[in-house]
């Protein structure tokens, strides 16, 4: 098998609003993966970068507002897991599991020569953060776990299994936004139609046939359909404790059906560097654009080690 080419970064010069470079790299099993790399505004900044990792059915656009804000102070890398956004779909759907995502992210770290880093992980991205803390001891210098932890509620997991990977398309963005609102109205009860349009454009794409569909491989649901699939049943408390004393922010949507408040409080009491903040009026998961989330992230970022 020929050697895989090294990753490459491509900066689009014809888009003056673009604040990132597209970086592509290869997984161990030959999947071409994508990340957005936001350079630090201060070119002399050499502190450990921040890796942003989205949730199960999400992509780099989840961080389109937060990433430029963070890049005012240090480099930001927003990862798209295999099967999402501009990352290629996996040939084997049973590789859509957290341990494979960890391997993919490690391949990116090796490709970019990154030794130490902080993470912001929403849902699945937070699970990956915890597993990386266990498998890469000493390399994570801080973490934000967004509505996720080592204990997850069954009701929320069942809800996700019910809708993830479902087919269907919509003829216009407005139709798609209304359908998305109908499915997720209980998660963001205070959203208006413009909020739903914004969220729909983050999570959906336009096909060559002119239809609006979710922007992920429907086969990401495959491991969730089998008994104990997707690493279900794995005890994540040792992985969580591997974060040690680093600055740790635990965010929870006040309406979350995934992370119970009691679990978040237990997490905060378990580690010395942990702080728990609840985001009012949203479920699973906060978008990280909420004022309460943004304020908490800024405070967490101020605690991260410098170069």
- Give 15's pLDDT tier (boundaries 50, 70, 90): very low
pLDDT for the residue numbered 183: 93
Q: Is the pTM of this model over 0.85?
A: yes
Please indicate whether residue 229 or residue 224 has the higher confidence score (pLDDT). 224
pLDDT of 73-98, one tens digit each? Answer: 999 999 999 999 999 999 999 999 99
pLDDT for the residue numbered 44: 78
Q: What is the pLDDT averaged over residues 215-241?
A: 84
Where does the chain hold its CATH 3.40.50.1820 domain(s)?
Answer: 8-157+220-303
Please indicate whether residue 227 or residue 109 has the higher confidence score (pLDDT). 109
226 has a pLDDT exceeding 90: no
Residue among 262, 276, 267, 260 nearest 236 (CA): 267
Q: Which CATH class is domain 8-157+220-303?
A: alpha beta
pLDDT for the residue numbered 294: 98
pLDDT for the residue numbered 9: 56
pLDDT of 162-185, one tens digit each? Answer: 989 887 899 999 999 999 999 999
4 has a pLDDT exceeding 70: no
- Give 1's pLDDT tier (boundaries 50, 70, 90): very low
Q: What contacts 200, CB < 8 A, 6 or more positions away?
A: 173, 176, 177, 180, 212
Q: Please, what's the b/e burial string for 152-176 (b: 16 or more CB within 10 A of its CB; e: otherwise)?
A: beeebeebbeeebbeeeebeeeeeb
Q: What is the pLDDT averaged over residues 27-38?
A: 98
Average pLDDT over the chain reads 93
- Give 2's pLDDT tier (boundaries 50, 70, 90): very low
pLDDT of 101-134, one tens digit each? Answer: 999 999 999 999 999 999 999 999 999 999 999 9
- Give 3's pLDDT tier (boundaries 50, 70, 90): very low
């Amino acid at each position: 098998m020929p050697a895989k080419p090294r990753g490459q970064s491509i900066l689009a010069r014809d888009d003056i609003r673009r604040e990132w470079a597209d970086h592509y790299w290869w997984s161990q099993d030959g999947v071409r993966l994508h990340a957005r790399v936001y350079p630090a505004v201060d070119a002399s900044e050499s502190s450990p970068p921040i890796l942003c990792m989205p949730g199960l059915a999400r992509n780099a656009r989840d961080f389109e507002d937060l990433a430029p804000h963070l890049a005012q102070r240090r480099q930001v890398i927003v990862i798209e897991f295999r099967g999402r956004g501009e990352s290629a779909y996996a040939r084997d759907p049973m590789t859509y599991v957290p341990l494979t995502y960890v391997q993919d992210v490690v391949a990116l770290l090796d490709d970019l020569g990154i030794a130490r880093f902080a993470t912001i992980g929403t849902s699945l991205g937070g699970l990956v953060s915890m597993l990386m803390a266990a498998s890469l001891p000493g390399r994570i210098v801080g973490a934000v776990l967004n509505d996720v932890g080592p204990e997850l509620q069954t009701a929320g997991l069942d809800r996700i299994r019910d809708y993830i990977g479902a087919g269907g398309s919509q003829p216009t963005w407005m139709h798609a936004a209304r359908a998305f609102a109908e499915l997720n109205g209980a998660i963001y009860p205070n959203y208006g139609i413009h909020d739903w349009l914004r969220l729909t454009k983050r999570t959906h794409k336009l096909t060559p046939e002119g239809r609006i569909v979710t922007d992920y491989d429907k086969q990401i649901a495959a491991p969730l359909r089998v008994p104990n699939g997707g690493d279900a049943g794995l005890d994540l408390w040792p992985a969580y404790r591997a974060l040690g004393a680093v600055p740790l922010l635990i965010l929870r949507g006040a309406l979350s059906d995934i992370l119970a408040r009691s679990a978040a409080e237990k997490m905060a009491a378990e580690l010395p560097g942990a702080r728990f903040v609840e985001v009012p009026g949203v479920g699973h998961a906060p978008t990280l654009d909420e004022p309460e989330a943004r304020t908490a992230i800024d405070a967490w970022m101020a605690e991260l080690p410098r170069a």
